[in-house]
Structure 1
Amino acid sequence: MIVAYNKPKNPILQKYIEGYYFLTNTSGELENSYLTFPNNYCIVTITNKCDIKFEKEKVVLREDNSQTCLSTIISNYKKPIQIAYFGNIKELTVIFKPLGINHFLENKLMSYLNDSFEIFEPFPDYLQTKKIILSIEDIDKAKEVLENYWLSKLIPFDNSFLQTAINLLEDYEKNYTIQQVADNCMTSRQNLSKKFFAHLGKTPSDYKKINRFRNALNHFEEQKNIKNLSSLLLDSTFYDQSHFIKDFKSLTGKAPKDFFKNLDCTVGGDIKWSWT
């Protein structure tokens, strides 16, 4: 399997898209699969000539030339998801920053979502354009077409309210409660949660929990050291060891030490997988 990860070249897209990657799984390979873990991004994936089966906390992709282009979107999952590939498969995945995808959608993000993966066809020309992108052999040309397409869909979106709330939730030095975040935003806790779900697909509490978890993963990558979990605990702003272990077991299914043994941070960007 080859994964070619890219950051957006266009400075406008850099504000809204964390990165994107082209994944190629060849027909001569045996099953390739990995676990992906909760994050606060909105992830859009496109495949062509591929059958996709959605099982409980698992997605299976198989080469199938009778299938047409298919796109999915996911913005909120609280358990690891296994992604398995069989056969010759090309995939394009775009990772939108928190709130980022709202700058391209005519409707609220929540109208495109379900509990897990959901079929995603936001524009009349969307699937045909993505099919063309997947067929382009020249990777630089494919990247150019992809970025120009998303630029053509850019629309105004006022995110000042939610961005303020996000900044407060990520301020672990002051460690605001959800009620304090709502008070600072001069709104009710109920309205704050409603806005979060509408445009991020998750609650403020889930956002804070997942962001803290992702901070720990980033600190681990920087330290390159799983022996000193106490240092990692302090750097990633968990309250205490029990809180650290509880959140990791909840979001990864494993205790921190076991989880970090198999974590792969080499794909690029904020992608952290565990190969199975």
Structure 2
Amino acid sequence: MENHFHTIEPCEKLKEYVACYYFIKSDDQDFTSKHYSFPHTYNALSIYKDSSFDSKPSNFSVRQSLNPNYQIFVQVKKQAPLMVNISGKVNRVTILFKDFGINHFINEPLSKIMGYEKDQFNSWKDDPHFPEFMVSLFSIDDEQEKGRIIDKFLLQRFAPIPLSYLESAVALLCNFEKNLSIEKIAAQFNVSLRSFNRNFKDVLGVSPVEYRRIAQFRYSIENKFFQTQFKRLTDIGYESHFYDQSYFNKIYHKLTGSNPKTFFKSIERIGDDKLIFQFIKK
């Protein structure tokens, strides 16, 4: 399946908001693949052509549909691995938005549109450019041209919103060395804990506690892959500011379903290391 994943970067104007676009395509009606995706602070918005779905909390199945359709989902920020099971022809485009990125392209709180367990993403359905965008996106196979089509549509949608104190709050949450409590972070911005949690979830789709857990997990992955001085897993846990090895193992088991050693042996890095999946071999 990994050979069917291809990534490209957005245009310069969008790089502040979008990590990459990636594409999954197979014209083989007997095609099957399974992979696990893992919690991320980024938001994956996926567009499928001619597909039907079966969604469960830990499993998302995609099948070829004989009825022409376009369907869009923004994946829930899960606190556990998600099995993605694909069968039949598949044609999928995914926009991987950075932490705050998607908020500048939608008209409602992120917490209300995150799908797979909810309704489809409909925030763009009333956009006059949307029908042409969908047709154009799937009428060609050239991925660079697909990227330009997405660039154009997103730039038309772009409506920056004020993020108030939330960007600074995320920076404090991700300072794992200081490890400030959620209460202290809220107090620094003179907001109640209740308001802080509500505002945070509206924009980022998860609570501050859940976000910190995912961010620390992703930080440890960065240390493993890109900090060459850290070789042993005990070093990775320490430098990623996990309390101890037991806690390090506990968080990894919760977010990946396995311990760190097993996780790092089983995953594959795709698209200049922007994507990390665990493919289930046949």
**TM-score bracket for the superposition, by shorter chain length:** over 0.9
How far apart, CA to CA, are the structure 2 residues paired with 1:257 and 1:130? 42
Counterpart residue identity of residue 5, structure 1: T
2:183 pairs with 161, 179, 183, which one? 179
Q: Does 1:91 align with 2:95?
A: no
* 1:68-95, Cα deviation, whole Å (9 max, x unpaired): 1111112421111111111221100011
How far apart, CA to CA, are the structure 2 residues paired with 1:243 and 1:82? 24
| 1:236 corresponds to | 240
The structural deviation recorded for 1:248 is 0.6
* 1:205-254, Cα deviation, whole Å (9 max, x unpaired): 00100000011112222258997211111222212111101101111111
| 2:18 corresponds to | 17
Distance 1:30 1:142, change over 3 A: closer
Q: Does 1:103 align with 2:104?
A: yes
Please tell me whether the aligned partners of residues 48 and 69 of structure 1 are also in contact (alpha carbons under 8 angstroms). yes
* 1:80-119, Cα deviation, whole Å (9 max, x unpaired): 1111111221100011111111111122212223584541
SS in 2 for 1:135: coil
Please tell me whether the aligned partners of residues 38 and 210 of structure 1 are also in contact (alpha carbons under 8 angstroms). yes
1:59-70 aligned at under 5 Å gives the runs 59-70=60-71
Counterpart residue identity of residue 191, structure 2: T
What is the aligned-residue identity percentage? 24
Please tell me whether the aligned partners of residues 73 and 114 of structure 2 are also in contact (alpha carbons under 8 angstroms). no
How far apart, CA to CA, are the structure 2 residues paired with 1:189 and 1:152? 36
* 1:16-46, Cα deviation, whole Å (9 max, x unpaired): 1111101113316542111001111121100
How far apart, CA to CA, are the structure 2 residues paired with 1:224 and 1:50? 42
1:113-262 aligned at under 5 Å gives the runs 113=114, 116=117, 118-123=119-124, 124=126, 125-126=129-130, 128-222=132-226, 228-262=232-266
- Using the TM superposition, name which of 67-76 and 85-94 deviates more: 67-76
The structural deviation recorded for 1:126 is 3.0
Distance 1:224 1:81, change over 3 A: farther
How far apart, CA to CA, are the structure 1 residues paired with 2:259 and 2:94? 29
How far apart, CA to CA, are the structure 1 residues paired with 2:248 and 2:81? 17
Normalising by structure 2, report the TM-score.
0.90
Distance 1:127 1:240, change over 3 A: farther
Counterpart residue identity of residue 18, structure 1: A
Please tell me whether the aligned partners of residues 46 and 70 of structure 1 are also in contact (alpha carbons under 8 angstroms). yes
* 1:162-202, Cα deviation, whole Å (9 max, x unpaired): 10100110112221111111111221111110011111110
Q: Does 1:6 align with 2:28?
A: no
Please tell me whether the aligned partners of residues 73 and 117 of structure 1 are also in contact (alpha carbons under 8 angstroms). no
How far apart, CA to CA, are the structure 2 residues paired with 1:200 and 1:116? 17
- Using the TM superposition, name which of 266-275 and 44-53 deviates more: 266-275
Normalising by structure 1, report the TM-score.
0.92
How far apart, CA to CA, are the structure 2 residues paired with 1:273 and 1:64? 25
Counterpart residue identity of residue 99, structure 1: F
For structure 1, list consecutive stretches of 5 or more residues without a partner in the other structure. none
Counterpart residue identity of residue 7, structure 1: E
How far apart, CA to CA, are the structure 2 residues paired with 1:23 and 1:131? 17
CA RMSD of aligned residues (A): 2.1
Counterpart residue identity of residue 242, structure 2: F
2:271 pairs with 263, 267, 270, which one? 267
SS in 1 for 2:165: helix
Please tell me whether the aligned partners of residues 60 and 116 of structure 2 are also in contact (alpha carbons under 8 angstroms). no
